[in-house]
Amino acid sequence: MPSINPSPAQLAAFNTNVTDDTPLLMLNLLRYQAQARYPAGSSHTPCSGREAYARYSQTALRKVRGVGGEVQVMAIAQAALIAPADEHWDELLLVRYPSKAAFLSMLADPEYQAATEHRTAALADSRLIATTPR
């Protein structure tokens, strides 16, 4: 089953299990829709999933930087050497945030929340994994 947006339970577990003041590296695995899936009646011009994600990224990257974060790696996935046979990803992003609070403040930002419409339309599946650097 595709995973596009975090559930309330996943956000609560993140908030409980991740240390407050430790920098985070957020691993994003992205698989795009061939055609973005905007809700019926959307005013957005039809486009590919990759193009819809670029629309989201215009706001998201500004908001990441606004909370002191930065994209550390952005890469096109080539081949999975260790993975289930039917699992594949189009892109990988590794984004650094100075703290859990910084990440959560970005998620709460109304402009960021509005931009997630493009992310949701863009993705066929995704993973977002919080990690802490050693």
Average pLDDT over residues 33-46: 94
Q: How far apart are the first and last CA of the chain?
A: 32
Q: What is the pLDDT of residue 2?
A: 78
Average pLDDT over residues 91-109: 97
pTM: 0.92
Tell me the pLDDT of the chain averaged across its residues: 95
Confidence at 47, pLDDT banded by 50, 70, 90: very high
Structure tokens at 134: 């050693």
The CATH class of 23-131 is: alpha beta
Strand order in the sheet with 91-97: 70-76, 91-97, 24-32, 123-131
High-pLDDT (> 90) share of the chain, %: 88
- Cβ–Cβ under 8 Å, residues 119 and 54: no
Q: What is the pLDDT of residue 78?
A: 94
Ranges of each domain in the chain: 23-131
Assess whether pLDDT exceeds 90 at residue 104.
yes
**Alpha carbons 48 and 56: distance in angstroms, whole number:** 13
